[in-house]
Amino acid sequence: MGSPLHKSTSGPGTAVLEKPEMADLSPEMKLVRDALFRHVGKPLPRKEDGRLITGKGRFSDDFSLPGQTFAAMVRSPYPHARILGIDTAEALASPGVLAVLTGADLLADGLEPIPHNPVPSTKFDVKLTAAGGGIPFTGPHYLLPADKARHVGEAVAVVVAETAAQAADAAEKVFVDYEELPHVTETKKAAQPGAPAVWDEVPDNVFIDSSFGDEAGTAAAFAAADHVVTAEFHIGRVTAVPIEPRSSLGHFDEETGRYTLYAGSGGAVRQKGELSKVLGIEPKNLRVLSYDVGGNFGARNRVYVEFGLVLWASKKIGRPVKYTATRSEAFLTDYQGRDLITKVELALDREGKFLAMRADNLSNVGGRCVSLSPLSKGSGLITGSYHIPVATLRARAVFTNTMCTQAYRSSGRPEVTYAIERLVEKAARELGFDKLELRRKNLVSPDMMPYTNAVGSIYDSGEYEKNMDRALELANWDGFEVRHEEAASRGKLLGRGFANYVESSIGSPKERAEIEIKQDGTVEVVIGTQPSGQGHETSFAQVVADMIQVPVEKVWIILGDTDIVSVGGGSHSGRSMRHAGTVMAMASADLLKEGRRRAAEHFGADFDAIDFESGHFKLRGTNQTIDIFTLGDLTREKDGPLRVARDNEMHTPVFPNGAAICEVEVDPETGHVLITSYATVDDVGRCINPLIVHGQTHGGIAQGVGQAMWELCAVDASSGQPLAGSFMDYGMPRSDNMPSFKCEIAEVISPTNPLGIKAGGEGGTTPALATVVNAVLDALKDYGVTDIDMPVTPHAVWRAIHQSKGERDARAS
């Protein structure tokens, strides 16, 4: 069991879950569990907010070093061009310029490509391979390419100068001799025969081609089915738009031979590991600091070329080098998200039971492959919240002359949720089923949990129909007709959309926690996750405070400096609370055990005679007690600080799930769409801090709705030029175009980890795309509109109305 997606799975049905990694309960662990929920579950206000809103945050560009210099990038204006030569003379002669470095210099210095390791590799990830099963070619990612530029905006040289303005001025004087090459930017075109090759090594651009599931069984089920419904969707390209543009400050210290990098990211430990490989140095010779991060959403998880460039340049010129992206550079070269074409087919019997499914997914990774997480994550969830006995999936990835894609909030899951939820609606519409009834009939039920889906993912727990019912209540689904009529009286079309979702959270398996009782009466917790607004300083402190029974104000979370935090998987895939929470629980138990040992010695008693209660160690049967801080002080000299370090690995994924409903009001005259209400139910497993989880859900909804309604990294296919390079053309969700959300948390405890946590950061986003588009199509149903592409801008809606009107008129005449 627990088999990854292989050709032969044991088929869907109830599975045996691997045991939680720490099921055996020591007395301390029991204590920890029993004590756990004093703060947990309470909406404590965030500890970090005071600091952040009074300007005391430490974002990357806030750091400066004496003598620092500034870097500016020379970026390719072409989507695809061979670099024949680079003339740096005029730039080098410009005021303040200290160095101009190119891809050729980089090769001469022996720098290595960034080891992105893009193919997901836990045993729960789908195994993506090249066609025929080989190791895929993913395109080496040098800090600067020496051969070709593969997308507009790719950095081909770096200029370092005394001031940022001098660097920017001189960058315009670097003359690159380009030979323009034919290019391809569109996902589907790139996979077609005869498309220009982005890499000579992969002449057809398709570098991943894997199939999963039971092909014969699926074919047989389709042949025997009463109905088959098919659809094709493109989930377009978007970008994360963090408030803080990416920034890095690199410093090489001649004396110690060590590099230091200040760069906000999704996890400093990964940056340290990969950048030390790029530079060819021992990891211990690189320190990475990542403190406050102004938005990530996946875009900052992977190493950026500029982070390596400031380190390399710093060594070359002997001074610190800083680079901060402009907003235009962020639009052009932040790692982008989504961009999947999916062809899906559903087989049904006469009663509407789902019999089988096929999916053909094509992911656009851009000019080189940084991550296959989106393709892989989505692949395991193509059947969504439904019991579909057999399924097959073909998963392909293709290079194009565009910026690289990466995991973006809820990597891969909104894409496949969009596909299955729109496909189910289409089936209901075409075959005459009620769209909710059709869903109910096919949902995975609680008694099937843990449930193995047709492509091998094991859903840990969940009450999907209950989520549906509650969401319908929250949204007052049954009151729709009245609202619909009222809108109609104003000439508006009201539509309602529904989507179920299930998603997976795996994430990097290792995490380490260190807890120390400090002399100043505080508790210090060192952990390797990296928040970018998720409130870890609060929710993690809550967990530790509960377990060792001290006031939450006394607990301080230390993150983001690789000299202090040695192991840590960073923050992505909704892993942080689950991984950090679990390892913090284990470390707390260790700490209490060590405390009991010291208390026993202190009282001259037996280890077993010591109890722990309300932050005090007690000698049983007496009124002798000692609190944990005093014990730490009294034993510091002899035993050292009261301190533990604990490592943990957890591989078993969890499956957050829920349902979302939205209502939209469409102005048929202009195509304008207004979201009038939005309700969700999210099963996050155990909820540590509902205030923070709700905040995450609200942000997640806005991000999903953003893609459905406004956001698109549009590229002009003929020139390869990005068209949405600023907020003038890239539409964003705003407070004035979002309704007030009605969100509820469902807590179905996960059996996979001791705290029962699933994840809460991405559920807002996952169903939003489908929910919004289903609502818009519902609003337009009287116009005969059955399909529309995202984003559903006024123009797109107006066009859909007119096209279908035109088609109807043509049919009528």
Partner 1 sequence: MYETTYHRPGTLQEAVSLFSKVEEAAYLSGGHTLIPTMKGRLAAPAHLIDVRRIPELSGITVGPDRIIVGAATTHATVAASEKIRALIPSLCGLAGSIGDVQVRHVGTIGGSVANNDPAADYPSAVLALDATLHTDRRSIPASEYFAGLYTTMLEPGEILVRIEFKMPEIAGYAKFRNPASRYALAAAFVARHRDGNIHVAITGAGNAGVFRWTEAEEALQARFEPDAVKGLLPDENDLMGDMHAPADYRAHLVGVVTRRAVENLGGTLIE
Distance between CA atoms of residues 257 and 321, nearest Å = 16
Q: In a 3-state reduction of DSSP, which class is residue 557?
A: strand
Give min distance, CB of 165 to partner 1, in A: 7
Q: How far apart are the C-alpha atoms of 405 and 333, rounded to whole Å? A: 10
Q: Which is nearer to partner 1, 23 or 723 (CB)?
A: 723
Which of these segments, 68-76, 161-169, 231-239, 257-265, binds partner 1 (CB under 8 A)? 161-169
For position 799 contacting partner 1 by CB under 8 A, the verdict is yes
Query: Cβ 672 to partner 1, closest distance in Å?
Result: 6
Find the shortest distance in angstroms from Cβ 53 to partner 1. 18
Interface with partner 1, residue 670, by CB under 8 A? yes
End-to-end CA distance of the chain: 60
Q: Which residue, among 553, 647, 100, 502, has the nearest Cα to 321 in the 3D structure?
A: 100
Q: Which residues contact 24 (CB under 8 A, 6 or more apart)?
A: none
For residue 679, give the nearest of 762, 748, 747, 767 by alpha carbon: 767
Q: Taking the complex as a whole, how short is the minimal distance between the CB of residue 670 and partner 1, in angstroms?
A: 6
Minimum distance from residue 559 beta carbon to partner 1 (Å): 33
Q: Does 252 bind partner 1 (CB under 8 A)?
A: no
Residue selected from 795, 805, 806, 808 as contacting partner 1 according to rule CB under 8 A: 795
- Preceding omega of 794 cis (within 30 degrees of 0): no
Task: Look up tokens 């045993």; give the residue.
Answer: 123
Which one among 41, 57, 96, 794 touches partner 1, defined by CB under 8 A? Answer: 794
If you write DSSP's letter for every residue of 138-167 in order, what string do you get? -----SS-SSEE-STT-EEEEEEESSHHHH
Binding to partner 1 (CB under 8 A): which residues in 601-620?
Answer: none
Closest separation in Å from C-beta 535 to partner 1: 27
Give how far the C-alpha of residue 666 lies from the chain's centroid of Cα atoms, to the nearest Å.
31
| 678 vs 710 by CB, closer to partner 1 | 710
CB 659 within 8 A of CB 499: yes
> How many Å apart are CA 753 and CA 34, to the nearest integer?
15
Residue 20 in tokens: 């939680």
Mask for 672-711, x = binds partner 1 (CB under 8 A) = x------------------------------------xx-
User: Shortest approach of partner 1 to residue 730 CB, angstroms?
Assistant: 6
Choices 191-199, 563-571, 578-586, 668-676 (CB under 8 A): range interacting with partner 1: 668-676
For partner 1, the closer CB: 238 or 650: 238
Minimum CB distance to partner 1 smaller for 84 or for 728 = 728
Give me the least distance between CB of 736 and partner 1, in Å please.
10
Distance between CA atoms of residues 732 and 711, nearest Å: 6
**Calpha distance 394→293 (Å, rounded):** 37
Yes or no: say if 268 and 542 are a contact pair by the CB < 8 Å rule: no
Nearer to partner 1 (CB atom), residue 679 or residue 792: 792
Choose among 211, 103, 31, 4: nearest CA to 595. Answer: 31
Smallest distance from partner 1 to CB 337, Å:
18
Q: How far is the CB of 171 from partner 1 (least distance, A)?
A: 10
Closest approach of partner 1 to the CB of residue 322, in Å = 17
* Least distance in angstroms from the C-beta of 792 to partner 1: 10
- Interacting residues with partner 1 between 429 and 448 (CB under 8 A): none
- Least Å from the CB of residue 299 to partner 1: 19
Q: What string marks each residue from 297 to 336 as x (binds partner 1 by CB under 8 A) or -?
A: -----------------------------x-x--------
Bridge partners, 625 (sequence order): 618
Count of CA atoms in the C-beta half-sphere (13 A) of 694: 16
- Contact flag: residue 65 with partner 1 (CB under 8 A): no
Nearer to partner 1, 95 or 203 (CB): 95
- Residue tagged 């390209």 (tokens): 237
Nearer to partner 1, 121 or 326 (CB): 326
CA 692, 698, 699, 704 dihedral sign is positive
CB closer to partner 1, 165 vs 223: 165
169 binds partner 1 (CB under 8 A): yes
User: Binding residue for partner 1 (CB under 8 A) from 189, 798, 803, 804?
Assistant: 798
Output 337 or 706, the one with its CB closest to partner 1: 706
Which one, of 464, 526, 414, lies nearest residue 658 by Cα?
464
CB of 674 to partner 1, least distance (A): 9
Q: Find the shortest distance in angstroms from Cβ 188 to partner 1.
A: 19
| Maximal CA-CA distance, the chain | 100
Q: How crowded is residue 437: how many other Cβ atoms within 10 Å of its Cβ?
A: 11
Q: Which is nearer to partner 1, 766 or 793 (CB)?
A: 793
Site string for partner 1, 708-737 (x = CB under 8 A): -xx---x--------xx--xxxxxx-----
Rg over alpha carbons for the chain, rounded to the nearest Å, is 28
Nearer to partner 1, 607 or 727 (CB): 727
Among 165, 224, 482, 717, binds partner 1 (CB under 8 A): 165
Residue 168 makes contact with partner 1 by CB under 8 A: yes
Rounded distance between C-alpha atoms, residue 503 and residue 765, angstroms:
11
Look at residue 85 and give its three-state secondary structure: strand
| CA 78/CA 318 separation, integer angstroms | 33
Which CB, 1 or 732, lies closer to partner 1?
A: 732
Strands (E) in 503-613, as ranges, are 510-517, 523-527, 555-558, 610-613
Q: Given the complex with partner 1, which of 165 and 488 has the nearer CB atom? A: 165
Binding segment (CB under 8 A) for partner 1, from list 604-612, 615-623, 685-693, 791-799: 791-799
- Nearer Cβ to partner 1 (135/243): 243
- Candidate ranges 40-48, 52-60, 420-428, 790-798; the one touching partner 1 (CB under 8 A): 790-798
Q: Sort residue 476 into left (φ over 0), alpha (ψ -120 to 50) or beta.
A: left
**Comparison of 649 and 669: residue with beta carbon closer to partner 1:** 669
Q: How far is the CB of 332 from partner 1 (least distance, A)?
A: 12
Strands 673-683 vs 741-746: parallel, antiparallel or unpaired: parallel
Total binding residues for partner 1 by CB under 8 A? 26
Is 636 an interacting residue with respect to partner 1 (CB under 8 A)? Answer: no
Which residues does 561 contact at the CB level (< 8 Å), separation at least 6? 268, 287, 288, 289, 290, 291
Strand partners, 649: 510
Give the nearest distance from C-beta 323 to partner 1 in angstroms: 17
Closer to partner 1 by CB, 3 or 721: give it: 721
Among residues 312, 278, 287, which one has the least CA distance to residue 160?
312
Residue 791: cis peptide before it, omega within 30 degrees of 0: yes
Q: Of 284 and 802, which has the nearer Cβ to partner 1?
A: 802
Is 249:167 a contact under the CB 8 Å cutoff? Answer: no
On whether the CB atoms of residues 493 and 227 are closer than 8 A, the answer is no
- 80 phi/psi in degrees, rounded to 5: -155, 115
Write the single-letter amino acid at 782.
Answer: D
Which residues of this chain interact with partner 1, rule CB under 8 A?
A: 165, 168-169, 172, 326, 328, 667, 669-670, 672, 709-710, 714, 723-724, 727-732, 793-795, 798-799
